[in-house]
């Protein structure tokens, strides 16, 4: 199932996001790009109807929905399954699917086939892959095959073992130079946007100025062309302390917990269900029964 863009119906498309970058940052018409992660039909539908520009089926689904302790175990089939559910809830936003670890790290042809599955089977309009310079060839192959690619540089959670943990990237001059090179490579290879994760805002601002594609920041300061957050962080549905950049807009964890406590109490005390919440035997059936008993 896919939603085909039609001009003028408000559908967010890759060319439209690129055009936003063309508008000078100080132009009154320049609109920041809003992006959030979604992993299921109801939240995807709610955020699409609330007007978010880009819905990302992040591989964070592995941690926040499936309970893995990193994004590494997520399988291609699991990622496809969640992308299909999100597709059914999204009409206006651009739908981007994160390729899971291992689905694009080997043979280029196999990586291309895996990316195509997100488009053909799950209805994604673009895929996201982590890594900079070392993904040049892959990004070119995917874009040649008409698959728009969102890059992702800085802290790339799929590299957690290689990086030795989840750390802010680009803090030394040499490290900053590498992140800048990564971002430029991703652009040169044909990506239409880049996620900049966990880096000094000054570096993210420099990258944003030096590339012609939109940057979407997460823990990368306000100068990026757009922002992305993990939905469960912003809604208070995670169990660990969220990172400092993840502003909490609601505490749904508490709301759910309170509702479940209340339900249990009501069942135990007999306050649920009430007569109004029960079905009743029709009077005609009751009368027939009474007659039968009387006989």
DSSP secondary structure letters along 21-40: HHS-TTSTT---EEEEE--S
Closest contact distance (angstroms) between CB of 217 and ligand KIV is 9
| C-beta closer to ligand KIV: residue 123 or 154 | 154
Closest contact distance (angstroms) between CB of 218 and ligand KIV is 5
Binding ligand KIV by CB under 6 A: which of 98, 125, 182, 187? 98
| C-beta closer to ligand KIV: residue 3 or 97 | 97
Given 125, 130, 197, 223, the catalytic residue: 197
Binding ligand KIV by CB under 6 A: which of 218, 224, 234, 235? 218
Binding ligand KIV by CB under 6 A: which of 20, 34, 37, 176? 37
267, 158, 150, 126: which is closest to 213 by C-alpha? 150
Closest contact distance (angstroms) between CB of 150 and ligand KIV is 9
Closest contact distance (angstroms) between CB of 38 and ligand KIV is 10
Contact 217, 204 (CB under 8 A): yes
The rounded distance, in Å, linking the Cα atoms of 235 and 103 is 29
Q: Output DSSP code: residue 131.
A: B
CA angle, 96 then 98 then 101, to 5°: 170
| C-beta closer to ligand KIV: residue 52 or 230 | 230
For the question of residue 197 being annotated catalytic, the response is yes
Q: Which residues contact 202 (CB under 8 A, 6 or more apart)?
A: 221
Give the CA radius of gyration of the chain: 24
What are the tokens at 88? Answer: 């059914």
* Residue 230 interacting with ligand KIV (CB under 6 A): yes
Catalytic residue annotation? 197
Task: Provide the binding-site residues for ligand KIV, judged by CB under 6 A.
Answer: 37, 58-60, 98, 195, 218, 228, 230
């Amino acid at each position: 199932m896919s939603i085909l863009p039609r001009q003028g119906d408000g559908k967010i498309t890759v060319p439209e996001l690129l055009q936003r970058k063309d508008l000078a940052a100080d132009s009154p018409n320049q609109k920041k790009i809003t992006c959030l992660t979604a992993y299921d039909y109801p939240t995807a539908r709610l955020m699409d109807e609330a007007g978010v520009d880009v819905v990302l089926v992040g591989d964070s689904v592995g941690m926040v929905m499936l309970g893995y302790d990193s994004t590494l175990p997520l399988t291609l089939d699991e990622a496809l399954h969640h992308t299909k559910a999100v597709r059914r809830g999204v009409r206006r936003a651009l739908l981007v699917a994160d390729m899971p670890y291992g689905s694009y790290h080997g043979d280029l042809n196999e990586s291309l086939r895996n990316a195509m599955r997100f488009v053909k089977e799950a209805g994604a309009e673009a895929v996201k892959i982590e890594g900079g310079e070392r993904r040049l060839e892959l990004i070119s192959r995917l874009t040649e095959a008409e698959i728009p690619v969102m890059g992702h540089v800085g802290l790339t959670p799929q590299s957690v073992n290689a990086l030795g943990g989840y750390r802010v990237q680009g803090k030394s001059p040499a490290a900053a130079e590498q992140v800048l090179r990564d971002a430029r490579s991703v652009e040169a290879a044909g990506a239409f946007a880049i996620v900049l994760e966990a880096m000094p805002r000054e570096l993210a601002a420099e990258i944003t100025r030096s590339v012609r594609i939109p940057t979407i920041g997460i823990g990368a300061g306000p100068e990026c062309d757009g922002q992305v957050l993990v939905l469960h962080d912003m809604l208070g549905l995670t169990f660990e302390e969220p990172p400092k950049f993840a502003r909490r807009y609601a505490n749904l964890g508490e709301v759910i917990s309170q509702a479940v406590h209340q339900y249990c109490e009501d069942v135990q005390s007999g306050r649920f269900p009430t007569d109004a919440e029960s079905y009743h035997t029709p009077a005609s059936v009751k009368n027939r029964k009474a007659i039968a008993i009387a006989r």
